[in-house]
Amino acid sequence: MTTTVGDTDTNRTWEIHQDGFRSILGPSPKLKLLLRIDEYPFAHEAGVFFPDTDELFITSNQFQDKDGAGKRVQISKVCLASGQAAPTLEAIDSELIDYANGGTMYEGGVLLCAQGSGAKPSGLFHMEASPPYRTTPVVTSYLGRPFNSVNDVVVHGDGSIWFTDPSYGHDQGYRPRPSLPNLVYRYDPATQSIRAVADGFGRPNGICFSPDQQTIYVTDTDQVRGMWIDQSRAASIYAFDVVYRYGEPFLMNRRLFTVADSGIPDGIKCDTLGNVYSGCADGIHVWSPGGVLLGKIVIPGGVANFCFGRGGQLFALNEHRLWRAQLASHIESPLLAAKKSDSNN
């Protein structure tokens, strides 16, 4: 297995569209190649960072299994080294999860999206963050009807789990024909209730909350269908207001937040200031809360997903490469900020 580490400094790394991007970058932004593996696209989705252990959970893109069994997706844990040492990659196998995709921190472990296969269900699974990585199902159907291919997930402050379910598994030939529309769901573990909360998407994909959790963002990557691309279809981010009626949250006031100018907006996150980040075909794009493109972190080959680390770090998943961008030290995710606040109390 080939691994490479190194630094990069190019004039094209930071593309500034508005002056507000300069405060996000800070006085001396850097982009460092942490890990490169040529044998398979190990760094594609999830991106779940544990600050206490300096560990990062990721999922690969599809690749051909060496034993000839067909395509598969690999779950891995990256142990981020300090100093000049290279990070190490640990492969994690799960009997329950087929075609893993997005993920988030949950209950001390990782909540992973399983897109499923012909033999195994699509749904959400909790995996422990340390060996033996015990995995248990959280939800694997909508009231008995199988999900299409659950893609990305986020956890609300009230403990509810929100996730997207596009039909990419069928598009790409490893899931049966859909029995449900392409929807966004909310699952409440406390009551084990599940609701569909948004429809009208071509292919709902990335999902995240604003810092105050009063807005939810969902990417629609309908431009990509299986192995072909139709640029007349959506490559958009939509915003919804989270409004409570009869004690339950509803998504209202759907509006177009932005259209990506390069490829599709895939994984999506907010920082604590409300700026919106999304992985696109030429790197990571950053918009203001008002939908103005502030700038880009340009990474050739694009970024499907990413996550924030400590002190302005951002880990970008670039298929055969894992990068770390160092932004201004005040840039962080609401999730890590909340975790840090809890540990200080």
pLDDT beyond 50 at 288: yes
Pairwise CA distance, residues 179 & 339, whole Å:
38
Give residue 84's pLDDT: 65
Per-residue pLDDT tens over the stretch 104-159:
999 999 999 999 999 999 999 999 999 999 999 999 999 999 999 999 999 999 99
Q: For the chain, give the mean pLDDT.
A: 94
Mean pLDDT of all residues in 328-344 = 84
pLDDT beyond 60 at 9: no
Give yes or no for a contact between 233 and 206, defined as CB atoms under 8 angstroms apart.
no
Burial class (CB in 10 A: 0-12, 13-18, 19+), 168: buried
In degrees, rounded to 5, the angle at the alpha carbon of residue 203 between the alpha carbons of residues 141 and 207 is 75
Domains of the chain: 6-344 (2.120.10.30)
Pairwise CA distance, residues 303 & 95, whole Å:
28
Pairwise CA distance, residues 286 & 279, whole Å:
9
- Residues with Cβ within 8 Å of residue 203, at least 6 apart in sequence: 166, 167, 168, 182, 220, 221, 222, 224, 225, 234
Give residue 337's pLDDT: 83
Mean pLDDT of all residues in 26-41 = 96
Per-residue pLDDT tens over the stretch 191-202:
999 999 999 999
Give yes or no for a contact between 18 and 288, defined as CB atoms under 8 angstroms apart.
yes
Give residue 226's pLDDT: 77
Q: How confident is the model at residue 12 (pLDDT cuts 50, 70, 90)?
A: confident
Sign for the pseudo-dihedral over CA of 113, 111, 161, 318? negative
